[in-house]
Amino acid sequence: TQAAGVASNTLPAYPDGTDGRGATGSTPTTTGPKTTASASRENVLQRKVAELEQKMAMSRSIMKKLYHKNVELEKELAIAKANSGGLDLTSPPATAAASRPGTSLRPPATAPASSGMAAADAGLTWQALQERDLTIRQLQQALEASRRRCALLEMQLASGNTAGGGGGAAVNSGGGTGGGGRGSSSSMGPGAAGGGGGGGRGGVSADSLRDLVAQSALHHQKYKQIREDYNRLLYKRASALQVGSRSTSANALAARALVGELQRRLEAEVQEREAEAALYSARLYESEKAMSDWYVEKRLLQEHIARLSGEVAERDKIDGEIEGCVAAMLERLRLVEAENEALRSRL
């Protein structure tokens, strides 16, 4: 390119822009558009990768929540089974690896996409679609497992928890066969039943179960005591009302007489108040009628005064006009007399 530029500077220029040999002085470069296209493609791929990573992070958080919820449900189910009489503390097996957030979801391996390679772009998109489908299936399986466990727990709770002696005996027998007695305070969960492989994954110790059974028995005893107190107080109140209703006939007759006298006084008072109200209503009607008549008379007098004032003003106006006419007539007579006197003097 530099040599061509030197040649174009040394050779004479022609009108068509060539150097006389049918070729232009410089050759255009085509690397600019290719670089722009590859940069835009890389930006698009980076945006897609960021969106996919965001979706995967969201799915991972959902799976973590589902995992923790499953662990809680397993613990509640184990406690319910222990309270029902059979110390079967083995948690239900995990349905799939999707219930564990550490191994269920992995971020997609995004290899660096080379510029201008449509095959790499298609492979990355296909891999993202596969990851999304896998995530959807795992979420569906986890939801189904959670629903089944919730239904099982509801059935266990609905069947009735027999807390007390039977539950305590079941707990003690389970503690003897689980793997070590109560002095070692070892967990009696899935790890103890299976040889210690997963003891920290939601196991419940015998002491905690024994405490739960004791608390349940205490709550049941308190509930029975409160209900007995309530029934006793209710019976006491009902008996007091019943005894009060069985009063002597003399007291009942006196009470009826007193009530009748009070009713008669009340009726007399009501009649007296009604008579006073009628009297006051009549007086009020008369006063309002007098006020209305006075107001009407006042308006009539005001209208009459206004009419008379208008007539007086009209008369004054006519009198003024008459006086003006008389004054003009007298002035005219005076002028005529003066003119007659002047004519007589001439004759």
Tokens of 252: 């009942």
317 vs 125: which has the higher pLDDT: 317
What is the pLDDT at residue 306?
93
Q: What is the pLDDT of residues 294-331, one digit of tens each?
A: 999 999 999 999 999 999 999 999 999 999 999 999 99
Torsions phi, psi for 18 (to 5 deg): -100, 175
CA-nearest of 232, 231, 229 to 221 is: 229
Could you give the angle at which helices 118-158 and 31-84 cross, rounded to 10 degrees? 10
pLDDT at 251: 74
Query: Taking all residues of the chain, what is their mean pLDDT, rounded to a whole number?
Result: 68
Tell me what pLDDT residue 90 has: 42
Share of residues in the chain with pLDDT > 90 (%) = 18
Instruction: For the chain, give every domain's residue range.
Output: 38-163
Q: How does DSSP classify residue 205?
A: B
Q: Using an 8 Å Cβ cutoff, are 47 and 113 in contact?
A: no
Q: What is the tens place of the pLDDT at every residue in 48-59?
A: 888 888 888 877
Q: Can you give the pLDDT at residue 13? A: 44
Q: What is the structure's pLDDT at 250? A: 67
With contact defined as beta carbons under 8 Å apart, do 98 and 138 qualify?
yes
* Per-residue model confidence (pLDDT) at position 79: 72
Q: Evaluate whether 190 touches 202 at the Cβ level (below 8 Å).
A: yes
- Consecutive H or E run containing 245: helix 206-245
Long-range contacts of 259-266 (CB under 8 A, 24+ apart): none
Please choose, from the candidates 219, 201, 209, the residue with its C-alpha nearest in 3D space to the C-alpha of residue 182. Answer: 209
Pairwise CA distance, residues 241 & 4, whole Å? 123
- The predicted-structure confidence for 67-110, as pLDDT tens digits, reads as follows 877 777 777 777 777 666 544 444 444 444 444 443 444 444 44
**pLDDT score of 130 more than 80:** no
Check whether 337 has a pLDDT greater than 90: yes
- pLDDT for the residue numbered 200: 41
Determine the pLDDT at residue 260: 86
Residue 258 pLDDT greater than 80, yes or no: yes
210-249 pLDDT tens trace: 777 777 777 777 777 887 887 777 777 766 666 655 555 6
Using one digit for the tens of pLDDT, what is the confidence trace for 171-210? 444 444 333 333 333 333 333 333 334 444 444 566 766 7
At 326 the pLDDT is 94
CA 139 to CA 142: how far, in whole Å? 5
Q: What is the pLDDT of residue 110?
A: 44
3-class secondary-structure state, position 305: helix
Residue, of 322 and 27, whose pLDDT is higher: 322
Mean pLDDT is lowest, of 5-14, 130-139, 206-215, 266-275, for 5-14
Q: What is the mean pLDDT of residues 270-282?
A: 90
pLDDT at 245: 58
Q: Measured between alpha carbons, how far is 235 from 241 in angstroms, rounded to an integer?
A: 10
